[in-house]
Structure 1
Amino acid sequence: MRWKQNVDTEVQRSNSDSEFTFNIIFNQQKFDDPKEVRKGSEMDRDALMNTFQKLGFDIDVHENLDSFELKSEINNLAERDFKDYGCLVVCLLSHGIENAILCYDGRYVNTNELRYEFSLDNCPSLYGKPKIFIVQACQGSLSQSETGTVAPPVNPASFVFQNVSGGLESSPSTVQWTNMDVKHTYSAKQLKQMNILDYYPGRNPPLMDFITINATLPGFLCYRLNKGSFFIQSLCEALSQEYLDKIPDEGTQHLEDLLRCVQDKINAYSDGRQTMPWEVCLSKHIRFRKV
């Protein structure tokens, strides 16, 4: 099922009279090592599915992929023709270290590399359209308390809260570019044939119109109970209240302002022990609207 123009992005729309929106969810709940199971992650998956379906998104869900499978799915997604779509949302639910998530085979995948698959070079049909990455994963083993930062325990896996996710290691994770990575996938002539550069003349740099929302700061833990994670449950609650529960005539906040409300909800869940950062590279504001 597809829905019409449910995202008022204030970003120039595609050539189509109607735009669809797409949400892909990678739920890494089980791993080759059974001790790594992420209890409660299915609650986050279901909350995201329910929220974005009501917002009119086409939904695709993948469970427990190994690193090769996950990167292949992202590559395949970037090769799709999104000319009739106005927005892409990618949700990554897993264990993690800084800027990387754990896959079923115990290998980490760099989240920045996944994002850059949707640059102009690799995915021209999403050029000028918002690409939203939502990452529920630890970025290290530090924690926060009322008085400051707490060093990781000797055995991070036995963190004080039962059924709470904890990162098992902290490591800097930077994108490594090679000549193959930066080679243009499409020539300027091909982009012109696809009307990409004509339709968005001088519109954006090739890596523009991304917003990345992380559950926690680099180096720190994030928290998840059997009922789901503080971050995803707070985010879905805020999205529903702002874009689904309000009557159409009521003004709605754009997404960046709404994220400040999400932090307040996380504070209520976690007693102020989790900070949610987001990185914005947008040319216009994003507002969702219910179908």
Structure 2
Amino acid sequence: MADKELAKVRTKFAEGVNIAVIKQLLDDVLEDGIVNDGEKESILEENSTKTDKARALIDTVKRKGDEASRKLITRLYNRDPTLHKNLGLSSGQPAQPAPEPQMDEEWSTTLKPTTDAFWREKLNDRSTYTVTKDSIRSRVALLITNIEFTDKAKIRKGADKDEENMEKLLKALGYEVVKCTNLTGKEIKEAVIKFSKHPKLKETDSVFVVIMSHGELGAFPIDDIYKHLDTAHCQDLLNKPKIIIIQACSGEKDGSVLVSDAAVVSDDAQQPDPSLSAGEENIEDDALRRAPKEKDFIRFRSSTPGTVSHRNDDEGSFFIQYIVEVLNTYAHKDHIEELFRKVTERFEDFSVSTERIDDDTQIPNKDRCTLSKKFYLFPGLWDRI
């Protein structure tokens, strides 16, 4: 085991290494993600002698486990092969890294937990949104699912499965789910406004707003979500990620339902003009704000403008299925934008055979993103609080 190898050569390493190599190795293990900036500075500044710095480096990496120790041995081989040889360490030739899981491999059906070490590392990363154990306790999400409609032809078969899957995912991520079903456009607006006053928003680190319906959303403009959760109307969410997920068509088609042998249909409807709510903003309001009015949002829509979103009568929409699978498999190590990219990647070869000559394809759309940092969900951490 590499960590045991390091323990055996600790004294000889401290005697034989020079300060330049120590600094180079610290840069290397920082790049490898083994230590963070704070740990690096602590090793250099809190140890007065060269040998103390060397011992602190060995001890810090050794505590991180066998894989971290192996990487340090490899880095030493590259920085000072003579010292590596004199210490009698195992070959420092870099081993071939394990291949990343392919997108067509088996997906996890439950959330893979993040590690405490990974969370602590990101706490010291200024490019990452802060997530504390206290903030995880206050997580809250709004989930709106429209299934039934007065026009029976518009009933969204399989949407109940989407609701079940999304609620399960959000709860597993530590979010209290405010769930609403079969709302009119006016009721959606009221639900969003009520959510913007939720008592947990002051302490939460983030929110999800998930709306699943037909494209018109009962004449509720999607852009109104921003208005009710922006800095002017909801200061409790200032500098906190606001993740908006929309499962609905973004374009107009000839007919509202497509059916194939796989029982696949589309949420086909016309998206309202976003300019309907734009007139309520003015230059004077923007000029008086000390913070950007719209900040820390990201929206992920099930399809690009002018296209439909597909749904299976039994399993629900492909968009929601893929979100659940990707987050279950990768949320323990990837930030939200990378997770959404992986969902989009799953649609690269997606097509639905229809009666038309061409296959009907779908690709999700990440837009209106004002995230200034990386947001990690840290699944499993809240279970250990």
TM-score (ref. length: structure 1): 0.74
The 5 Å alignment of 1:252-263 reads: 252-263=333-344
Relative to its length, the structure with more strand (as a share) is 1
Give the secondary-structure state (helix, strand or coil) at the position aligned to 1:159.
coil
Distance 2:183 2:154 in 1: 14
Does 1:102 find its partner at 2:217?
A: yes
Q: CA deviation at 1:170?
A: 5.8
In structure 1, stretches of 5+ residues that fail to align are 142-151, 189-196, 247-251
CA 1:17/1:36 → structure 2, altered by over 3 Å: closer, same or farther?
A: closer
Q: 1:62 to 1:257 in 2, by over 3 A?
A: same
Q: How does 1:113-192 map to 2 (within 5 A)?
A: 113-141=224-252, 152-153=253-254, 156-161=255-260, 162-169=263-270, 172-178=273-279
> 2:374 corresponds to which letter in structure 1?
H
Q: Is the deviation greater in 61-70 or in 260-269?
A: 260-269
Establish whether residue 288 from structure 1 lines up as the match of residue 377 from structure 2.
yes
Relative to its length, the structure with more helix (as a share) is 2
Q: Distance in 2 between matches of 1:43 and 1:213?
A: 19
- Give 1:205's aligned residue: 292
Aligned counterpart, 2:327: 239
* Residues 183 and 240 (structure 1), Cα distance of their counterparts in 2 relative to 1, 3 Å cut: same
Q: CA deviation at 1:269?
A: 4.9
3-state DSSP class of the match of 2:205? strand
SS at match of 1:85: coil
Identify the match of residue 27 of structure 1 among 145, 149, 164.
145
Q: Larger relative contact order (C-alpha < 8 A, sep ≥ 6)?
A: 1
Residue of structure 1 equivalent to 2:345: 264
The alpha-carbon deviation at position 117 of structure 1 amounts to 0.7
Shift >4 Å, 4+ stretches: 5-9, 181-185
* 1:120-142 alpha-carbon deviations (Å, 9 max, x no partner): 1100000000000000000113x
2:206 maps to 1:87: yes
Q: Secondary structure at the match of 2:233?
A: coil
Distance 1:67 1:216 in 2: 21
The structure-2 alpha-carbon separation of the partners of 1:18 and 1:288, relative to structure 1 and needing over 3 Å to count, comes to: closer
CA contact (8 A) 2:223 2:277 kept: no
Provide the rounded CA distance (Å) in 2 between the counterparts of 1:160 and 1:44.
Answer: 19
Contact 1:44/1:233 (8 A) holds in 2: yes
Shift of 1:270: 3.4
CA distance in 2, matches of 1:171, 1:131: 22
- Cα deviation, 1:41-100, whole Å, max 9, x if unaligned, reads 11111111111111111111100011221111111111234111110100000010xxxx
What code does the residue aligned with 1:75 have?
I
Instruction: From the superposition, tell whether residues 119 and 229 of structure 1 become closer, same or farther in structure 2 (CA, over 3 Å).
Output: same
| More divergent stretch after superposition (42-51 vs 170-179) | 170-179
Aligned to 1:56: 174
Structure-2 separation of matches of 1:18 and 1:117: 22
Deviation at 1:175, TM superposition (A): 3.8
1:278 aligned onto 2:366: yes
Aligned residue in 2 for 1:249: none
Distance 1:90 1:170, change over 3 A: closer
AA in 2 matched with 1:221: V
Task: Pick closer, same or farther for the CA change 1:51–1:268 going to 2, 3 Å.
Answer: farther
Which residue identity is paired with 2:342? C
2:160 counterpart (42, 53, 66): 42
Q: CA RMSD in A?
A: 2.9
Distance in 1 separating the partners of 2:217 and 2:208: 20
The alpha-carbon deviation at position 182 of structure 1 amounts to 5.5
SS of 2:194 mapped into structure 1: helix
TM-score by structure 2 length? 0.57
Amino acid across the alignment from 2:293: P
Deviations, residues 141-166 of structure 1 (Å, cap 9, x unaligned): 3xxxxxxxxxx44xx13534345024
Distance change >3 Å, CA 210–CA 171, structure 1 → 2? closer
Between the aligned partners of 1:166 and 1:17, the Cα distance in structure 2 is 39
Report deviation, 1:264.
2.4
Contact conserved, 1:28 with 1:93, CA < 8 A, in 2?
Answer: yes
Deviation at residue 268 of structure 1 after TM alignment: 5.1
Q: Does 1:221 align with 2:322?
A: no
Q: Which sits farther off after the overlay, 214-223 or 272-281?
A: 272-281
Q: Which runs of 5+ in 2 are unaligned?
A: 1-115, 353-359, 381-385
